[in-house]
Amino acid sequence: MTQIPDNSRTNNADSHGQPAVLETGGVFGDESSTINRRRFLEAAGFSISLAALTGCGRAPVETALPFPIQPVGAIPGRFQDYASTCAGCPTACGLLVGTRDGRPLKMEGLPEHPLSRGGLCAVGQALPIGLYDSHRLTGPLSAGKSSEWASVDQEIIQAFSQIKEQKKAVRFVTPTITSPTLQANIDAFLAQFENAKHVVFDAISSSAILDAHEQTHGVRVLPHYLLDKAKVLISFGADFLGTWISPVEFTAAWSSRRAPTEEYPEMSYHVQIESRMSLTGSNADRRVTIAPNEQHLVLSRLAHEVASLAGKPLENSPPLEGSLADTEIASLARKLWEARGESLVLCDSQDKATQVAVNLINHHLEGYGKTLDVKRPSNQRQGSDRDVQQLVEELEADQVGALLVADVDLLHDLASCQTLADAVGRIPLTISFSQREDEFASLAKFVCPDHHVLESWSDAEPIGGLISLAQPTIRPLRETRAVLESLAVWSDRPTTAYEALQSHWKKTIFPRRQKEASAQFVKFWEQSLREGFVEVEAAKSVVGDFKAGEVKPLAQQTATGDFSLILYTKVSMPDSRHSHNPWLHELPDPISKVTWGNYVCVSPSDAKELGLVDGDIVKVSAGDEGPQLELPALVQTGQHDGVLAIALAYGCKGTDRFAKIGPQWFEARPTVLENELLGKNAAAFVEFRDGAQQYLRSGVTLSKTSKRRDLATTQLYNSLEVPAEVAPHGAERRDIVQHTTLNAFAKDTHAGAVEHHFDGDTQLWPEDHPKTGHAWGMVIDLNKCTGCSACVIACQSENNVPVVGYDEVRRQREMHWMRIDRYYTGEGEDMDVDHQPMMCQHCDNAPCETVCPVLATVHSSEGLNEQVYNRCVGTRYCANNCPYKVRRFNWFKYEHDDTLQNLVLNPEVTVRSRGVMEKCSMCVQRIEAGKVEARSQGLPVADGAIQTACQQSCPANAIVFGDINDQESKIYEALENPRRYRVLEELNVRPSVSYLRVVKNRDEESHSG
């Protein structure tokens, strides 16, 4: 190669070997036959590539391992669905576990399930990544060291026999248990001891509702709220579409009344009265912000008005001072009263007196038995905060001999009791059933890890009389053991969870069967297992008559201090058990759009006063003695002044594992800072007052520090309003999300439509690609969509979307194929929040396709915009030319080093490499599989046989997907809907995805975009 400089020098190139070649048009001198630099390179390149070609070896040898003995029914490479029950939270939604080659991969909603109706929330969707988590405990621990089950059992049995002899107290702490079998086994286990008690501790408790029903109805139950029966719905702070009790069920029920049609232009009227901006509030027809301490005042006024309308006025009703005028409350009361029997009031208060007032209202509205049911009550929250408080007192007084904790991190969620850790350390026997070393487990003498929910047999009775089964879909990956089995071993009656489950069903569930059920247990069992659930007679409960006399009007609480602090949970993180789930951490909060960690929500005017911007670290403290923490601030539109809000379930032990998640390059910032955890634990602010955990704390001060940490937000533009100085006349509001009101809609079903002044006839491209076969399309009903983000995780799970970490999200490089845009319009009371799922629109005149220099993104004959990864060279022209900004670029080769975690990958979808563009494919793998399935049966593709991942899991049933060419299909019908429009229609890119206009149930006329 040393010849090159010599060679070029002879050809009068400059001293850098730079090309005279360019100036002379490629020919040096007149000797065209001589070898010049270009020829040399050509020839050298040719001979080298020849040598390289001949030297090509074989691809690496791959083995294919069939089963030694193939299980019956197992077909390699084929998805098989098993009906089961989700155990992500005590709600117990119906689950359809998609397994392939023996691995559970895709969680879907069980369509026949009466509560969840085929929906599944983000947490349920994210179960598999928790299963394939290499940080789970691999076996039991004894005094913090890994041990064997046999020796651990021996020690524990010994310790229990000592406790029996010394007659010490045994306490078993769990969150709400909906499983009747586990409950019966815990009861049987505790019955061995003289002083034993099962304490139900819900970190997010609804204790006050149960206590209030104990007072008014004589039974301590949580009513089953039937939102689909509610025509008028007033919620005081209850985020029932996001996190409150049973969000999937409530979303399905709520959205069933949110679809006005031409024939029946009717929908429910939903008012949300709250202090912070919740997901439910963002979807309400009317949202009223009040100070948190006004809540029970407003409620008791409402109770007074409703009682007066019912002809039983309350004595001495307090006057109202605050944001809601008397006349307004009277009008709300009238609306409720007019729809009595079809109206419902919900409240998230943890104050018993407030909940009694709510019961009174619902009683006068004739709701009991119609819109809420106490005869077949909900078992989804059973926590008794009084018991928890008593337990804490016992622990601190060293009265407990053995403490067993399952499924909850006692020390993390009871962070308000600072001396608890010492007290726990003094207990002779502490056992944790945690799957990882959480705060309690790291102090416990023994850790006996439970199976992951996808590895275990269980059942659940979320509503009286509705029992579902959970079946394992994989053999336990670790040396774990079900709680039930551990208890059985320690009671010297070893059994398997399966046997225990069957025997309990035989004994107590089977006799409760309905008349039409099989009289043979085996058949009854098999049918229940196949269908996932069974309806039986509800256990008889003695509901007393309503005792109205006990309701007293409430006095206004006086607020002290600067701020009131509301502790809430994010939609993506319902409790600390999910704190190790990277999918949930990277799921943007539906309202704030922030990922990775928690923050302090501050109202815009408070932020202005204090000079705060997003990301400024603030110090929140409750008095000098009280707890304090430092977190970044987030300015939250729609939050009441004087209110702060912090999410619970953060700052969990072990979350520093996420420090290095995402690509580690020289400018990368860690997701978790050194010696810190992901977010901060705000549970220290939770107080026990009046026998309930209070998630509202007044007297909190806020101060700005000099530090900053940028929030990893996925959305930087929040408004649909064009700034006044640049807005064209008549287009002050962008019509990306179109609105109308029910009144306007009833008069004209096309109300709210936006006239576009473009010439649809002029085409840049000839219309020479007719779609004669299938033509796939999607319609999303924005009036049903609540923004709950279940679809985002469904898509991530289906399509192998990588987790990129805090820093990449901060740089707007998140990889989610589906995002939910959230827009604010208006201010204060008139503010509207819109949620709009946005993914590749599969345009017929796709702007991305025309700019791709390598034809890596092309149009299919079925109307799909295809992305061919193996062709893509990463110019990113397509992303720049996409008006919807839905394309995602692989800036890095995202980590796939964890071989256990890789089991979560869907083998039907290519794992993309660095430098490749990707985007929503409309689940083309499902389309292809559906077509093949139909063809092999010799049938046409049935409508609804192919469902995209986002559509399947949508709790609101807001997404319709199908073949536009099929005139019998649901999509065809949806496209005829007068509310239908397309985003950025004026560009004439002709998207295959349409949206249905938002209709708010309001009196005023439509404010069109």
* Positions that interact with another protein (CB under 8 A): 3, 6-7, 10, 34-35, 40, 43-44, 46-48, 50-51, 53-56, 58-59, 61-70, 75-78, 773, 858, 860-862, 864, 866, 868-871, 908-911, 921, 924-925, 928-929, 932-933, 935-936
The pair of structure tokens assigned to 158 is 């010994």
Residue with tokens 């046997």: 499
Which residue intervals of 788-894 are DSSP H helices? 790-798, 806-810, 847-851, 877-881
For another protein, the closer CB: 548 or 868: 868
CB of 155 to another protein, least distance (A): 30
Q: How many CB atoms lie within 10 A of CB 1?
A: 5
Distance CA(469)–CA(179), nearest Å, equals 9
For another protein, the closer CB: 74 or 325: 74
CB of 925 to another protein, least distance (A): 5
Q: Which has the closest alpha carbon to 945: 978, 920, 973, 970?
A: 970
Distance CA(878)–CA(892), nearest Å, equals 18
Q: Which residues of 746-759 are buried (b: 16+ CB within 10 A; e: fewer)?
A: beebebbbbeeeee
Phi-psi region of 650 (alpha: psi -120 to 50; beta: other; left: phi over 0): beta
CB of 878 to another protein, least distance (A): 14
CB of 911 to another protein, least distance (A): 7
For another protein, the closer CB: 76 or 623: 76
For another protein, the closer CB: 323 or 860: 860
What's the Cα-to-Cα distance from 71 to each of 76, 83, 376, 382, rounded to whole Å?
A: 10, 19, 41, 40
The helix or strand, by DSSP H or E, that contains position 145, with its residue range, turns out to be strand 145-146
For another protein, the closer CB: 22 or 51: 51
Beta-bridge mates of residue 196: 170
CB of 883 to another protein, least distance (A): 22
Q: Which has the closest alpha carbon to 743: 426, 1002, 415?
A: 1002
CB of 437 to another protein, least distance (A): 32
Which residue intervals of 552-697 are DSSP H helices? 582-586, 604-610
Residue with tokens 């979307």: 801
For another protein, the closer CB: 238 or 477: 477
Q: Which has the closest alpha carbon to 497: 478, 470, 473?
A: 470
For another protein, the closer CB: 7 or 1008: 7
CB of 59 to another protein, least distance (A): 6
CB of 874 to another protein, least distance (A): 15
For another protein, the closer CB: 35 or 722: 35
Interhelix angle 326-338/295-309, rounded to 10 degrees, is: 50
The helix or strand, by DSSP H or E, that contains position 430, with its residue range, turns out to be strand 429-432
Q: Which residues of 39-67 are buried (b: 16+ CB within 10 A; e: fewer)?
A: eeeeeeeeeeeeeeeeeeeeeeeeeeeee
Beta-bridge mates of residue 858: 866
For another protein, the closer CB: 4 or 555: 4
For another protein, the closer CB: 68 or 723: 68
CA dihedral 470→472→476→480, nearest 10 degrees, is 20
CB of 104 to another protein, least distance (A): 18
For another protein, the closer CB: 961 or 981: 961
For another protein, the closer CB: 52 or 397: 52
Cβ-proximal residues to 150 (8 Å cutoff; 6+ apart), any chain: none
CB of 882 to another protein, least distance (A): 18
For another protein, the closer CB: 7 or 965: 7
CB of 240 to another protein, least distance (A): 38
CB of 531 to another protein, least distance (A): 23
- Determine contact, residues 136/827, Cβ cutoff 8 Å: no
Burial class (CB in 10 A: 0-12, 13-18, 19+), 625: exposed
For another protein, the closer CB: 594 or 864: 864
- Determine contact, residues 283/294, Cβ cutoff 8 Å: no
- Determine contact, residues 582/658, Cβ cutoff 8 Å: yes
For another protein, the closer CB: 869 or 877: 869
CB of 131 to another protein, least distance (A): 23
- Determine contact, residues 245/381, Cβ cutoff 8 Å: yes
CB of 526 to another protein, least distance (A): 23
CB of 941 to another protein, least distance (A): 13
Q: What values do phi and psi take at 445, rounded to 5?
A: -65, -40
